[in-house]
Amino acid sequence: MADRLDVLIVGAGFSGMYMALKCREQGLKFEVIEAGSGVGGTWYWNRYPGARVDIQSLEYSFGFDETLEQEWRWSERYAPQAELLAYANHVADRYDLKPHIRFSTRVTAAHWDAAADGWNVTLDSGAVIAARFLVLATGCLSVPTDVTFSGIGDYRGRIYRTSRWPHEGVDFTGQRVGIIGTGSSAIQSIPIIAQQAAHLTVFQRTPNYSMPAHNGPIPEADWQEWLQDPRAYRARSRNTVGGFWNEAREETLATQTPPDEIKAELERRWAWGGFRILSGFADQGIDPDANRIIASFVAAKIREQVKDPKVAELLTPKDHPFGTKRPCVDTGYYATYNRDNVELIDLRSDPLETFTATGIRTQGRSFDFDAVVLATGFDAMTGAIERIDIRGVNGETIKEHWAHGPETYLGLMVAGFPNLFLITGPGSPSVLTNMIHSIEQHVEYVADIIASLNAAQAGRIEATREAEQLWTDHVDQTAAMTLLPQANSWYMGANVPGKPRRFMPYAGGLHTYTDICNAVKAKGWEGFVVARGAQVISESRTFTTYPPPPENMAPHLMELAMGRVAQWMQDHGRA
């Protein structure tokens, strides 16, 4: 075994790269292991046509280095995948990170070595690397679901997965193409594929809400505001629920606003584009009546864009409140259904039976395709972590520890798994936010923990089970206050058969979460045990840093939210 590392980082996406940089700053010995042949994580793998970020690029970019900020100029409000990948490579080259990254290599196992206060990490090459700290920067949406279809092995055409798109691209010109799925990946790629293909058939099981990006060059006024004071711009973004500026109106209630004012506000937000419509009214995420007002506005927008009323009806979501799945941000998605060469097949009324040698057969029809695209989603948040054989202090695996859904302390550590850090893990705001700002917060926090351990000459840190349970209850209860658990979403693990249902991200907001983390640190790492061998250096076993009650919340909303929490407590046998 080679010399022991201080830190082994798994993944060279934005999290892994920034973690590597923080390790270098501290003079630590580190290495990054990356399954892909290049950096970029999400933006390395998801190369499907039309792939682009759903947060504005001025905010979806690193803010830790002002020079980096100033030297990179985004071409569009929502950068396309190729530009995001170029940015990831720019970051890697600028900070000379690539020599520290072992590409095309997977971590298969990590076993805790109590005698050494560290991890023995096995690679797919069979090599074993010892490291004091293990950082899983493995991404929240990096492992495609194992979804398969009867007869798929017999199909003689080409099959493409949006999440594993060929690097050389695909030209569908003149082809008959089928696509399965209508999540964000499909909604971004369908308009582009439709322009190329002779014919495109979309197989939809469940419609999603999508808002127009109104993408284009970044308006000069936005650039000027940004250039004037990037620090203020960043601070404004980070101090929000979602880690991006969204003009949240925390006191205005849709249920108490006259219809014409609601319409004007929603029209303004729709015209602005993207996620802005998510935060027009304080009650839309909690009160079903308020939510219905926004949902019916979006439904009307779908009807406006799609000429055939039957198709518009099929494209309108009915099974989940607006915003309880991550809404999609599109360019021309709905209008694509007005094209003569595009057809929508509703799998609810005409279920997919099997692939055939030449295409797909549903209950009612047969389709011949030259190519089929699978845009069928990810085993989100836990998939990449559980696929590694990670064994902690008692030989228990993380998968076993998470048999009832993920349980973490702050989404950052797992009891019984010392010196193992999750970047944007389940139980942190992660996928409910602008990932880059969540990543920066997490990486800086982990770097702080490592520095403070080294200053104390400590060998390990571990979250206590008590703190983990209290935090996980808090995560569950925070979600329960809202409408979020009501959707069969990948946030809930509902898209993977057999996966435990639990709302995985922390819905309390990035600003609140950051305050909690800072208070945990100020209290001497509350909820953690810090030790060296058999000697305990500091110990604070519980978690008490709950956020203050929501300010200015309307009494009827508070009552609704608290009623749901009381129900959750009853259902889960909590006092």
| Least Cβ distance, residue 181 to ligand NA7 (angstroms) | 3
| Least Cβ distance, residue 210 to ligand NA7 (angstroms) | 11
Name residues contacting ligand NA7, limited to 60-119 (CB under 6 A). none
What single-letter DSSP state applies at residue 507?
A: T
Other C-beta atoms closer than 10 Å to the C-beta of 371 total 17
Other C-beta atoms closer than 10 Å to the C-beta of 536 total 11
Does residue 438 touch ligand NA7 according to CB under 6 A?
A: no
CB 163 within 8 A of CB 376: no
Q: Work out which of 177, 375, 453, 530 binds ligand NA7, going by CB under 6 A.
A: 375
Choose the binding region for ligand NA7 from 32-40, 174-182, 332-340, 508-516 (rule: CB under 6 A): 174-182
**Binding-residue pattern over the window 454 to 493 for ligand NA7, x denoting contact by CB under 6 A:** ------------------------------------x---
**Binding-residue pattern over the window 270 to 309 for ligand NA7, x denoting contact by CB under 6 A:** ----------------------------------------
List the end-to-end C-alpha distance of the chain, in Å, as a whole number: 50
In the complex with ligand NA7, the residue whose CB is nearer, 324 or 376, is 376
Q: Work out which of 61, 257, 376, 545 binds ligand NA7, going by CB under 6 A.
A: 376
Name residues contacting ligand NA7, limited to 315-354 (CB under 6 A). 326, 347, 352
Does residue 449 touch ligand NA7 according to CB under 6 A?
A: no
| Least Cβ distance, residue 148 to ligand NA7 (angstroms) | 8
| Least Cβ distance, residue 160 to ligand NA7 (angstroms) | 13
Other C-beta atoms closer than 10 Å to the C-beta of 469 total 15
What single-letter DSSP state applies at residue 414?
A: B
CB 491 within 8 A of CB 427: no
Distance of alpha carbon 472 from its chain centroid, rounded? 18
Residue nearest to ligand NA7 (CB): 183
Q: Sign of dihedral through CA atoms 291, 486, 55, 239?
A: positive
Does residue 206 touch ligand NA7 according to CB under 6 A?
A: yes
What single-letter DSSP state applies at residue 92?
A: H
| Least Cβ distance, residue 504 to ligand NA7 (angstroms) | 13
Q: Are strands 366-368 and 359-362 parallel, antiparallel or unpaired?
A: antiparallel
Does residue 360 touch ligand NA7 according to CB under 6 A?
A: no
| Least Cβ distance, residue 189 to ligand NA7 (angstroms) | 9
| Least Cβ distance, residue 275 to ligand NA7 (angstroms) | 11
How far is 349 from 314, CA to CA, in rounded Å?
10
Provide the CB-side half-sphere exposure for 508 (13 A, CA).
26
Does residue 209 touch ligand NA7 according to CB under 6 A?
A: no
Backbone angles phi, psi at 553, to 5 degrees: -75, 135
| Least Cβ distance, residue 212 to ligand NA7 (angstroms) | 16
Does residue 180 touch ligand NA7 according to CB under 6 A?
A: yes
Q: Work out which of 11, 181, 323, 359 binds ligand NA7, going by CB under 6 A.
A: 181
Alpha carbon distances (Å) from 239 to 58, 371, 425, 511, 537: 16, 45, 20, 5, 34
| Least Cβ distance, residue 377 to ligand NA7 (angstroms) | 3
Helix (H) or strand (E) holding 184: helix 184-196
| Least Cβ distance, residue 329 to ligand NA7 (angstroms) | 9
3-state class (DSSP) for residue 483: coil
Name residues contacting ligand NA7, limited to 128-167 (CB under 6 A). 141, 147
Residues that contact ligand NA7, how many (by CB under 6 A): 20
Distance of alpha carbon 354 from its chain centroid, rounded? 31
Choose the binding region for ligand NA7 from 82-90, 178-186, 527-535, 544-552 (rule: CB under 6 A): 178-186
Residue with tokens 């571990």: 462
Helix extents (H) in 26-134? 42-45, 66-71, 81-94
Q: Work out which of 13, 321, 377, 418 binds ligand NA7, going by CB under 6 A.
A: 377
Which strand ranges, in their side-by-side order, compose the sheet holding 158-161? 158-161, 371-374, 176-180, 199-204, 342-346
Rounded to a whole number of angstroms, the CA Rg of the chain reads: 24
Contact residues: ligand NA7, CB under 6 A: 141, 147, 180-186, 205-206, 326, 347, 352, 375-378, 490, 495
